[in-house]
């Protein structure tokens, strides 16, 4: 039986906009991409985020230009249950929201991009790559992955294209079952 996977993206629905999480003191993290880079992180301590644009409060949003995944407690429980070995969940207080929210840090990075099946791929400029991005993808349209290379992961980032947060069909269905999402799912298998 084939396993299906989905790229989690921004949905075209009314939603509030959340800033990049910071330390509770307001101090920015040394690396703003730390929650989107894949890999296990040390406990970042107490963190917060602010609403940069009011709108409809959603259970799953991305914070800041770094697209840090932020979820409600109900959605955090989905990740805890279905992907306990694939994510870290860090509590984050959101200005004006009495509910508990969590940053989702995908700890797995897998090399599963099926470039031949992708519609269009763009590599970082080979003549002048940004330092640290040599050989990585700048953007991929019609992303496709090989599910046989996902190493059993339910939630992961892709090697050479960590922008993409990928979830299994089981995780997708459970998240949709909770509802009130500010995200969409694009099938990549």
pLDDT tens digits, residue range 116-155? 999 999 887 766 656 667 778 889 999 999 999 999 999 9
Q: Using an 8 Å Cβ cutoff, are 65 and 17 in contact?
A: no
N-to-C CA span, the chain: 13
For the chain, which residues make up each domain, given as ranges?
A: 9-39+46-107+170-184
Tell me the CA distances in angstroms from 144 to 20, 121, 134, one per residue in order. Answer: 28, 11, 21
The distance from CA 67 to its chain's CA centroid, rounded to whole angstroms, is: 7
Task: Indicate the pTM of the whole model.
Answer: 0.93
The predicted pLDDT at position 126 comes to 62
Query: Mean pLDDT over all residues of the chain?
Result: 93
The predicted pLDDT at position 2 comes to 72
């Amino acid at each position: 039986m084939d396993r299906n996977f989905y790229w989690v993206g921004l949905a075209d629905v009314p939603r509030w906009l959340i800033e990049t999480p910071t330390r509770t003191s307001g101090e920015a993290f040394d690396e703003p991409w730390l929650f989107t880079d894949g890999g296990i992180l040390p406990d970042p301590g107490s963190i917060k985020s602010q609403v940069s644009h009011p709108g409809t409060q959603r259970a799953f949003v991305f914070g800041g230009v770094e697209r840090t995944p932020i979820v409600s407690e109900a959605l955090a429980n989905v990740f805890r249950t279905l992907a306990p070995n694939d994510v870290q969940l860090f509590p984050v207080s959101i200005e004006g929201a009495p509910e508990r929210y969590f940053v989702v840090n995908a700890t797995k990075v897998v090399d599963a991009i099926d470039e031949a099946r992708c519609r269009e791929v763009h590599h970082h400029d080979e003549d002048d790559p940004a330092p640290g991005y040599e050989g990585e993808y700048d953007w991929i349209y019609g992303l496709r992955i090989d599910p046989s290379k996902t190493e059993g992961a339910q939630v992961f980032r892709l090697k050479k294209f960590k922008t993409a947060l990928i979830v299994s069909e089981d995780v997708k269905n459970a998240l949709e079952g909770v509802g009130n999402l500010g995200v969409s799912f694009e099938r990549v298998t």
